[in-house]
């Protein structure tokens, strides 16, 4: 009798420990996070098409999209993976996401890099100007990838209609922009946890630290070129080429970086091709250059899927996945609208050229600089992850994408936006290769594993100098101006004769989008 009681008490203790452990965790399913992320990416496009496109075009496009999205929300084609996250880790990742976005200047509550002059002007005009935004005095209109600002700006317009003062509307809208971007980063980190099955708080901390600190060895190139005279923006050390660190991307181009990364991790997480088109389409309104930049990687992933199905004798299933409702509807409902809209941009020039054409032509100096640049910015990482990834076609597609993206340019002479933004997805995939090794090394022992881990740690530590310098520049600007809110907000509006061409369309009334797709302005 006593033995039975003791056994019962022991079983009860075990049960309580298990339940107590579960109370400290939360189970996250990929399906739910996928749905939330897809909504995050699709809602801005839905608002845009309803307000910037004629109703007779907008409604059929949205109905068509609904047909493609509904099967995704029902979970018929997504990965069924789950991860059990510790609640402490959840709190940590949310706080880090908000801090990262806040300290990058999003919302204007901290130092802002110079590019915010343009982004604040776009955001302000979206709030205070009528949609579609047309500057009739100069015959121009706003033509840019507006996805990140549409929802916060829509809220701002609602507050204006409620009679709130302009200054209060601007402050509240910026706060919502900060929360909106923070939500995107939270979804990104959770998707990374799902992808790597990292649920412990320590694993989440590792993922977050790599995400924020990942960068090439800019400091080595800077010292090689300038000695100890280190500048405050060292990513241009090579003069001709640049890859951005993750933190630099958030500081300078958060509107493309966050959704571009979300697109990339969703594509990596999918178990088949059924949602590829929809995921790519959902990012078009946010980061079109990132969509172009991931094209080689996604082509390789599609080829791999077809090859596997062919070997299994299921080629029809592969064709069915490729031509799914989601993919087809995304192509017909989103691509024509986005192409027509972006073609209005004043800086739109699809001429593809090599970078050295902007610097007087190819030379031995440029070749030598590129070899050193690529080795320091990506080559070392590519070598370090080769042992675990060399059998995967995606590994080679990532390397080639980075090589091509670093030397190709599109648009006006001297324009660097394309090659910087287009390489973001491939750099993110490379970072995921590194994350995988770091997490695996935590579980493995042995001299070789320790040596490899030490090499990766040293490389990442040197790379982390780049985001540290971003923060040092921010602190110096705050000290110089005497305020934490050291904003870059001089431009105010794009309603001017000399507005930057990257953000507007000239002679907008003569464009195809204006004549056939845009609703009449009032």
Give the range among 1-10, 169-178, 218-227, 359-368 with minimum mean pLDDT: 1-10
Two structure tokens written together for 256: 């493309």
Which tens digit of pLDDT belongs to each residue from 382-394?
A: 999 998 899 999 9
Confidence of residue 76 (pLDDT cuts 50, 70, 90): low
> Nearest Cα to 378, choosing from 355, 359, 406, 353?
406
Which tens digit of pLDDT belongs to each residue from 286-297?
A: 999 999 999 999
Helical ranges in 218-271 per DSSP H: 218-226, 246-269
Which tens digit of pLDDT belongs to each residue from 203-219?
A: 999 999 999 999 999 99
Mean pLDDT rounded to a whole number for the chain? 88
Other residues' Cβ atoms within 10 Å of the Cβ of residue 479 = 10
> Nearest Cα to 127, choosing from 493, 489, 487, 485?
493
Parallel/antiparallel/unpaired status of strands 504-506 and 352-354: unpaired
In percent, the amount of the chain with pLDDT more than 70 equals: 91
Give the range among 85-89, 141-145, 259-263 with minimum mean pLDDT: 85-89
Confidence of residue 19 (pLDDT cuts 50, 70, 90): very low
> Nearest Cα to 522, choosing from 129, 53, 126, 130?
130
Other residues' Cβ atoms within 10 Å of the Cβ of residue 159 = 18
Rounded distance between C-alpha atoms, residue 39 and residue 170, angstroms:
25
> Has residue 447 got a pLDDT over 70?
no
Which tens digit of pLDDT belongs to each residue from 84-139?
A: 888 888 899 999 999 999 999 999 999 999 999 999 999 999 999 999 999 988 98
Average pLDDT over residues 402-423: 79
Which tens digit of pLDDT belongs to each residue from 355-374?
A: 888 788 888 999 999 999 99
């Amino acid at each position: 009798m006593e033995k039975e009681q003791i056994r019962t008490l022991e079983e009860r203790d075990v049960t309580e420990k298990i339940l107590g452990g579960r109370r400290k965790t939360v189970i996250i399913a990929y399906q739910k996070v996928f749905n939330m992320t897809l909504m995050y990416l699709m809602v801005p496009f839905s608002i845009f098409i309803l307000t910037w496109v004629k109703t007779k075009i907008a409604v059929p496009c949205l109905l068509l999209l609904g047909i493609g999205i509904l099967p995704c929300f029902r979970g018929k084609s997504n990965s069924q993976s789950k991860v059990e996250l510790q609640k402490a880790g959840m709190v940590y990742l949310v706080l880090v996401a908000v801090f990262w976005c806040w300290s990058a200047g999003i919302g204007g509550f901290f130092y802002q890099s110079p590019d915010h002059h343009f982004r604040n002007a776009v955001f302000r005009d979206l709030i205070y100007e009528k949609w579609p935004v047309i500057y009739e005095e100069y015959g121009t209109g706003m033509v840019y990838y507006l996805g990140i600002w549409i929802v916060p700006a829509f809220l701002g317009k609602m507050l204006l209609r409620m009679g709130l003062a302009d200054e209060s509307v601007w402050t509240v809208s910026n706060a919502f922009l900060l929360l909106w971007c923070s939500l995107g980063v939270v979804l990104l980190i959770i998707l990374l946890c799902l992808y790597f099955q990292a649920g412990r708080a320590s694993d989440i901390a590792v993922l977050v630290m790599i995400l924020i600190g990942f960068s090439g060895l800019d400091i080595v190139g800077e010292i090689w070129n300038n000695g100890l005279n280190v500048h405050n923006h060292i990513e241009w050390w090579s003069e001709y080429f640049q890859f951005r660190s993750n933190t630099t991307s958030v500081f300078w181009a958060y509107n493309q970086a966050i959704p571009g990364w979300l697109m990339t991790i969703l594509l990596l997480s999918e178990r088949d091709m059924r949602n590829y088109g929809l995921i790519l389409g959902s990012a078009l309104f946010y980061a079109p250059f990132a969509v172009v930049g991931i094209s080689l990687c996604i082509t390789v992933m599609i080829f791999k899927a077809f090859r596997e199905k062919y070997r299994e004798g299921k080629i029809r299933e592969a064709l069915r996945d490729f031509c799914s409702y989601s993919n087809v509807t995304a192509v017909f409902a989103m691509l024509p609208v986005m192409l027509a809209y972006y073609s209005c941009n004043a800086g739109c020039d699809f001429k593809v050229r090599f970078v050295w054409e902007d610097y007087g032509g190819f030379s031995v100096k440029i070749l030598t600089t590129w070899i050193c640049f690529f080795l320091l910015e990506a080559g070392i990482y590519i070598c370090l992850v080769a042992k675990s990834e060399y059998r995967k076609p995606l590994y080679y597609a990532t390397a080639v994408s980075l090589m091509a993206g670093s030397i190709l340019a599109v648009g006006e002479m001297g324009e660097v936006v394309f090659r910087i933004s287009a390489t973001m997805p491939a750099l993110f995939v490379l970072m995921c290769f590194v994350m995988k090794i770091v997490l695996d090394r935590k579980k493995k022992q042995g001299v070789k594993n320790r040596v490899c881990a030490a090499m990766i740690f040293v490389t990442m530590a040197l790379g982390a100098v780049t985001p540290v310098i971003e923060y040092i520049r921010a602190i110096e600007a705050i000290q110089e101006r005497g305020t934490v809110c050291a904003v870059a907000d001089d431009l105010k509006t794009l309603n001017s004769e000399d507005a930057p061409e990257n953000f507007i369309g000239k002679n907008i009334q003569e464009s195809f989008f204006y004549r056939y797709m845009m609703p009449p302005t009032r």
